[in-house]
Amino acid sequence: MTLLSEFHSLRDLSQALSDKRISAVELATDTLQAVHAYPDSHVFLHVDDALTLEQARTADATRAAGQAGPLTGIPIAHKDLFVTQGWRTTASSKMLEHYVSPFDATVVGQLRAAGTVSLGKLSCDEFAMGSGNENSAFGAVHNPWNPEHVPGGSSGGSAAAVAAGLVVGATGTDTGGSVRQPAALCGVSGIKPTYGTVSRYGMIAYASSLDQAGVLARNACDLVPLLDVMSGFDERDSTSLESCDGVANAPGRVQSDYAAAQVRFEAAAAQPLKGLRIGVPREFFNEGLSATVGDAIEAALKVFESLGATRVEISLPRTRLAIPAYYVIAPAEASSNLSRYDGVRYGHRAAHYGDLIDMTSRSRTEGFGDEVRRRILVGTYVLSHGYYDAYYLQAQRVRRMIVDDFQHAFANDCDVIMGPVTPDVARRIGDNRQDPIADWLADIYTLGVSLAGLPGMSIPCGFGGGTTPLPIGLQLVGRYFSEGHLLALADRYQQVTDWHQRIPGHA
């Protein structure tokens, strides 16, 4: 049992640090021992005890000086897609196997400035391309609930680390569901904020118009201070939003919106969610959804109804089109972003080659895995002469229609949308090795949210999967900039359920 396991929330742990019942150094030392002893060696890709303990000593000094915040001394870890000083940043690829960045990503810097203590870098699918964390060049990550199953992807290392109790929170990225899906499959809480509210500076690009930093923790309440620190305008990121429709994108917004929603809920007493309209898309409950997941989602919706909310059936008619649209747009952007890895400036360079063209070809073939090469080829094809109009522009038109579907639902029918995150529980490792398209199809409930740039999150809502139960997640989708409200709704649900308190081996 680790020191972290003695505390039920980030707030409790922060209070213990403030009361000097535990020091940041003691906590970091104990947590590092747990990381080194954890049976799945692929969760963390790079750990440096000296760097972690240095940050812990700084946190203790900050507390001693009376300058601590709620995150000072809190142990976290970063998805290996955020560049970091000191720790390697590989994107789980041989292409960047030995790369160490001279600077921190904005998200990393913001969390460090808030006093968090980083334990290192967490595994992911290579360049965030995958849904099971099997595409890492350094080995597949195993689901803490059952090591024969995937943890989800691409932020599988982040979700597994939180579920296993190795960290309080972990950063992730979500391009088409890569925070929400692993959160659901590992039984933790995770949120993808509105596109542009968290800086992408220093986050290795996959698909620039879709990539968004997010965060995972055991419960929704713990997500609030982490996301609050991560959010805010960054002039170094051209996609960062300073404000939109009068809503300022500034530090403190998530926390204040969350607090305001909590006050409204408390005032409503017996039926705190009275007046809330929950949109349930009929397209999410078709033949592709497993009965186990469907039953768990239905039970979760009934809990919200018992709290006063009203269920409204809505339609997102272009849900199925999200898959082909995403798998045209994302690979197209990936083919452009990954063209920088040519063996000349940085990254892997082949040891043996003829001319410059041969060097680039060999370096990319050796450095990129199968899924990355597959998506680069698809992206290059749809951007090529004669196919750009037929595929890429058409996909962008469909994307606009998907946005309109969500906007229509929020404008006319509902305040929040809820439904499943995945069609089924976590599959076994290797099940889709010969059929990568099966993984693409499993993203059907998350892709539309990413294409629309809306905030979405996953919270635990049940278990299924036979003799060894596996977690199921409920997806919440909100209007633009409604992260605080979503987190408050999730917290309200978690106040009356205990799914988020279950831990592997003690379900």
**CATH number for the domain that contains residue 195:** 3.90.1300.10
Pick from 237, 210, 13: nearest CA to 105: 237
Exposure string over 367-380, b if 16+ CB within 10 A, otherwise e = bbbebbeebbebbb
In a domain, 425, yes or no: no
pTM: 0.96
Pick from 252, 211, 163, 190: nearest CA to 501: 163
Tokens found for residue 37: 């002893």
Domain range for 156: 4-267+483-501
Residue 49, pLDDT score: 98
Residue 436, pLDDT score: 79
H/E element, 169: strand 169-174
Tokens found for residue 179: 């925070």
Residue 28, pLDDT score: 98
Ranges of the chain with pLDDT below 50 = none
Distances in Å between the alpha carbon of 497 and those of 221, 459, 491, 500?
Answer: 14, 11, 10, 8
Q: In this structure, are residues 128 and 158 in contact, taking their beta carbons and an 8 Å threshold? A: no
In a domain, 332, yes or no: no
The vertex-451 CA angle with 212 and 365, nearest 5°, equals 70
Which of 131, 154, 189, 482 is catalytic? The answer is 154
Which of 14, 23, 79, 92 is catalytic? The answer is 79
Which of 123, 131, 178, 240 is catalytic? The answer is 178
Known catalytic residue: 178?
Answer: yes
In a domain, 31, yes or no: yes
Euclidean distance between CA atoms 255 and 261, whole angstroms: 10
In a domain, 129, yes or no: yes
Tokens found for residue 306: 């018992």
The count of C-alpha atoms lying within 13 angstroms of the C-alpha of 256, restricted to the half-sphere facing its C-beta, is 9
DSSP reduced 3-state for 76: strand
Euclidean distance between CA atoms 493 and 500, whole angstroms: 10
The partner residues of 456 in beta bridges, in order of sequence, read: 192, 477
Q: In this structure, are residues 402 and 453 in contact, taking their beta carbons and an 8 Å threshold? A: no
- Please count the structural domains in the chain: 1
DSSP class per residue in 170-216: EEEEESSSTTHHHHHHHT-EEEE--TTSB--TTBPPS-TTT-EEEEE
In a domain, 365, yes or no: no
In a domain, 363, yes or no: no
Tens of pLDDT, residue by residue over 7-48, are 989 999 999 999 999 999 999 999 999 999 999 889 999 999
In a domain, 456, yes or no: no
In a domain, 422, yes or no: no
Determine the angle formed by the axes of helices 483-496 and 291-306, rounding to 10 degrees: 90
Tens of pLDDT, residue by residue over 465-476, are 777 899 999 999
Known catalytic residue: 154?
Answer: yes
